[in-house]
């Protein structure tokens, strides 16, 4: 059989054709690799070495090599890549210097880098130098108190300099606040990696803006304007990749207006488009029903809380104002949140009570009173005003007042009323002198102190005196002494850390007659007491500092409200703190055991108690070596008679038995355990989220076996249901 010539001809060409196609693929692949290599990023410096290598330094600001993140005395630094970065905070903000790269050729149209720190052009800056001239310069974002040490991406278009030699110079020539610069990951690229201004307009047609938050997103500043005026400006971790939870902004007063929302965001982010309007709060059906929500301790519906502020009673309501970030899980954007309660347990949250006048002028802590004689003229004798003092971080100590039961407030036109280096004014009325007193944290002459000012009208204030050795959030009140002579009383001067002194106060100066003492230990800070209570009880609420809820859209809680008293003890007069009697209203199911020794405890009588919310009371006889341990949701609560020590988890406090008897009261909520020893002679607060699942209670003894006279467990109901 013979083949057709044409067919034979095609077959004869096949091997050469395969070779040609293969060569074409090889050439194409080689070309694409070359193109890919030509387009790949060129790293100028990632600063991951122990030294700066061929870079040169002057001065002391940059140290001997890249920093491992945050330096001593610096706020937490974040946003850099790897484990090291350039950080000119070596020696603090007073140090200066420069850091200059070796020469390199510009080969890409963009120079991308991470930058943070001070916003001082030419003094805290990253500079590109071509032919001995600074052709590009960038600073960090900060030039006022506050701010963040987070680095963010920025970029320069350097296409006009391609092919030219250049150096990068990092400059720190500023001393004082934010006198440093942070830099990392300097890269040549064909792609711009930075942030840019983004704007969105919307007409308000609902009560709330729902704002998506991403926990690990960079902190961005969001500005909201209406009619050409800024109406909101705050920091927020606005969702860029995903929304972990929603916060909200109440904009009902702006209904019908066109809002302009501005932020600086990555060019590919669609964050502003994710902001929606609604007449309901975010996730309204599940609000207060979240998995870790405290059930009888106050926590804000959304966002961060810390110091209690403005505690007072008026017309059947306890008012709890508090430091609040409504826009995020972490500290910042200080506003005053507001809640009211008829019984100190069931709280109703109201709209934000106090907002900053402008970005950076934050509303720090303060206090509130009822001006019953209307000495201020802010109200009337028939309808006395509620008056609060707070620290405006941009101005000083300021006054506001309300004539509608705290629902709205008005700023005193002549604020600030006191200007000094300090914060956290505490107001009280001193009956013997018929004058108002302001006890306020004060810094002067390099010392931390509480200063006292007095006033006849809450407007004009006269400096009286100061006492050194206290830090932040003072409180000052008088209490009768139980067990002392008839009519005996002491004034209590109290600081944020829980340390207090007893003494006398004449309206002008505090004269201590005790050393510093302490009732509270553990996760407890910045406590304040209620003014104007109708039953004359002195009720205190503290911030449960470090009681965190990492998976929740809210963070931190208040401690249980406690009634304070002064009692005579073998060691002298001491302040006691006991949970308020109203707590008994939450009891649902009662368990009790009497006369339990080691053998009875070995049978584990508590194992059947698996409720989540508990109040536990123990009265035990102890010997010199007795040790009693209750394991509460996996956390050991221990009284060690040999060491005269009460502990709860990682925290402990000194406690001596009362003639061989020790009493414990333990409160268990979803995020905390609080322990009160010997009727509140000491108190410990511990933030802990117990492991999920059933964790029975248990009790055990060691050393000389204690005898438990009474063990009571009350299961508690929620205040949110």
Considering the domain 287-560, what is its CATH architecture? 5 Propeller (2.115)
CATH class of 42-193: mainly beta
**DSSP structure class, residue 273:** G
State the Cα–Cα distance between residues 565 and 681, nearest whole angstrom. Answer: 10
State residue 35's pLDDT score. 53
Catalytic residue among 172, 235, 249, 307: 307
278: Cα within 13 Å, side-chain hemisphere: 13
Backbone angles phi, psi at 606, to 5 degrees: -85, -5
- pLDDT band for 676, please (50, 70, 90 cuts): very high
Average pLDDT over residues 624-631: 93
Residue 419 has pLDDT above 60, yes or no: yes
Of 80, 88, 93, the residue nearest 57 (C-alpha): 88
State residue 295's pLDDT score. 97
Residue 23 has pLDDT above 80, yes or no: no
State the Cα–Cα distance between residues 664 and 578, nearest whole angstrom. Answer: 11
Annotated catalytic residue 307: yes
Of 630, 663, 627, the residue nearest 645 (C-alpha): 627
Residue 24 has pLDDT above 80, yes or no: no
Domains 287-560 and 581-716 in one fold: no
Beta strands in 326-421 (DSSP E): 335-341, 348-354, 363-370, 386-392, 396-402, 410-411
Average pLDDT over residues 76-80: 92
Q: Domain ranges in the chain?
A: 42-193, 196-278, 287-560, 581-716
pLDDT in tens, 331-381: 999 999 999 999 999 999 999 999 999 999 999 999 999 999 999 999 999
SS (HEC) of 128-187: EEECCEEEEEEECCECCCCCCEECEEEEEECHHHCCCEEEEEEEECCCCCCCCEEEEEEE
Of 84, 55, 50, the residue nearest 67 (C-alpha): 84
* pLDDT over 90, % of the chain: 84
**DSSP structure class, residue 8:** H
Cα 188 to its chain centre, rounded Å, is 38
Residue 400 has pLDDT above 90, yes or no: yes
State residue 693's pLDDT score. 63
CATH class of 581-716: mainly beta
| Cis peptide preceding 162, ω within 30 of 0 | no
State residue 283's pLDDT score. 93
Residue 37 has pLDDT above 60, yes or no: no
State the Cα–Cα distance between residues 148 and 235, nearest whole angstrom. Answer: 10
Place of tokens 């020539």: 173
pLDDT in tens, 202-223: 999 999 999 999 998 888 899 9
* pLDDT over 70, % of the chain: 94
Residues ≥6 apart with Cβ < 8 Å to 476: 426, 428, 437, 439, 450, 491, 492, 493, 494, 505, 510
State residue 654's pLDDT score. 98
Q: How many CB atoms lie within 10 A of CB 182?
A: 29
Residue 8 has pLDDT above 50, yes or no: no
State the Cα–Cα distance between residues 457 and 435, nearest whole angstrom. Answer: 8
State residue 196's pLDDT score. 84
Residue 382 has pLDDT above 90, yes or no: yes
End-to-end CA distance of the chain, in Å? 96
């Amino acid at each position: 059989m013979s083949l057709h010539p044409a067919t034979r001809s095609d077959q004869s060409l096949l091997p050469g054709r395969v070779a040609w196609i293969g060569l074409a693929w090889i050439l194409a692949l080689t070309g694409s690799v070359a193109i890919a290599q030509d387009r790949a990023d060129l790293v100028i410096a990632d600063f991951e070495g122990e030294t700066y290598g061929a870079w040169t330094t002057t001065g002391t600001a940059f140290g001997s090599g890249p920093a491992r993140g945050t330096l001593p005395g610096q706020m937490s630094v974040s946003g850099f890549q790897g484990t090291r970065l350039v950080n000119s905070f070596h020696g603090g903000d007073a140090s200066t210097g420069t850091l200059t790269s070796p020469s390199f050729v510009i080969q890409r149209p963009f120079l991308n880098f991470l930058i943070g720190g001070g916003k001082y052009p030419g003094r805290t800056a990253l500079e590109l130098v071509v032919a001995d001239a600074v052709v590009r310069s960038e600073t960090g974002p900060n030039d006022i108190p506050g701010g963040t040490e987070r680095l963010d991406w920025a970029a320069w278009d350097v296409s006009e300099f391609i092919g030219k030699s250049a150096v990068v110079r990092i400059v720190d020539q500023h001393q004082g606040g934010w006198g440093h610069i942070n830099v990392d990951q300097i890269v040549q690229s064909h792609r711009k990696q930075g942030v840019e201004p983004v704007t969105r307009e919307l007409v308000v047609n609902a009560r709330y803006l729902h704002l998506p938050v991403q926990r690990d997103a960079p902190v961005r500043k969001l500005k909201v304007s209406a009619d050409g005026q800024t109406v909101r400006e705050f920091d927020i971790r606005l969702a860029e990749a995903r929304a972990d939870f929603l916060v909200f902004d109440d904009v009902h007063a702006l209904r019908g207006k066109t809002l302009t929302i501005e932020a600086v965001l990555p060019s590919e982010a669609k964050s502003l488009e994710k902001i929606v309007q609604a007449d309901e709060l975010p996730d309204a059906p599940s609000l207060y029903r979240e998995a870790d929500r405290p059930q009888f301790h106050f926590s804000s519906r959304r966002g961060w809380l810390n110091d209690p502020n403005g505690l007072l009673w008026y017309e059947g309501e306890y008012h709890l104002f508090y430091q609040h970030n409504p826009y995020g899980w972490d500290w910042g954007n200080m506003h005053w949140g507001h809640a009211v309660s008829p019984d100190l347990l069931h709280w109703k949250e109201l709209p934000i009570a106090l907002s900053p006048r402008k970005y950076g002028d934050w509303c720090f802590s303060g206090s509130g009173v009822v001006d019953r004689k209307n000495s201020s003229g802010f109200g009337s004798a028939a309808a006395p005003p509620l008056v609060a003092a707070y620290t405006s971080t941009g101005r000083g100590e300021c006054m506001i007042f309300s004539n509608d039961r705290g629902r709205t407030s008005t700023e005193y036109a002549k604020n600030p009323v006191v200007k000094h280096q300090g914060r956290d004014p505490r107001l009280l009325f001193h009956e013997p002198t018929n004058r108002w007193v302001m006890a306020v944290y004060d810094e002067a002459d390099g010392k931390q102190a509480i200063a006292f000012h007095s006033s006849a009208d809450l407007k004009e204030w006269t400096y009286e005196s100061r006492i050194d050795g206290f830090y932040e959030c003072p409180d000052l009140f008088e209490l009768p002494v139980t067990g002392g002579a008839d009519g005996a009383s002491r004034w209590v001067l109290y600081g944020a850390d829980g340390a207090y002194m007893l003494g006398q106060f004449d309206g002008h100066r505090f004269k201590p007659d005790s050393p510093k003492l302490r009732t509270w230990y553990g996760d407890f800070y910045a406590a304040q007491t209620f003014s104007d209570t109708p039953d004359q009880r002195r009720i205190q609420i503290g911030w449960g500092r470090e009681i965190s809820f990492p998976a929740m859209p809210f963070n931190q809680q208040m401690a249980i409200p406690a009634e304070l008293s002064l009692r005579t003890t073998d060691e002298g007069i001491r302040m006691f703190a006991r949970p308020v009697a109203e707590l008994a209203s939450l009891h649902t199911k009662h368990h009790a055991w009497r006369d339990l020794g080691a053998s009875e405890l070995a049978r584990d009588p508590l194992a059947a108690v698996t409720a989540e919310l508990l109040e536990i009371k123990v009265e035990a006889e102890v010997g010199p070596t007795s040790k009693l341990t209750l394991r509460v949701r996996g956390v050991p609560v221990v009284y060690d008679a040999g060491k005269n020590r009460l502990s709860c988890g990682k925290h402990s406090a000194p406690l001596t038995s009362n003639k061989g008897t020790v009493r414990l009261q333990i409160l268990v909520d979803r995020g905390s355990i609080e322990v009160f020893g010997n009727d509140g002679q000491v108190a410990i607060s511990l933030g802990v989220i117990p492991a999920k699942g059933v964790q029975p209670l248990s009790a055990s003894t060691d050393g000389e076996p204690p005898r438990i006279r009474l063990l009571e467990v009350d299961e508690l109901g929620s205040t949110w249901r």
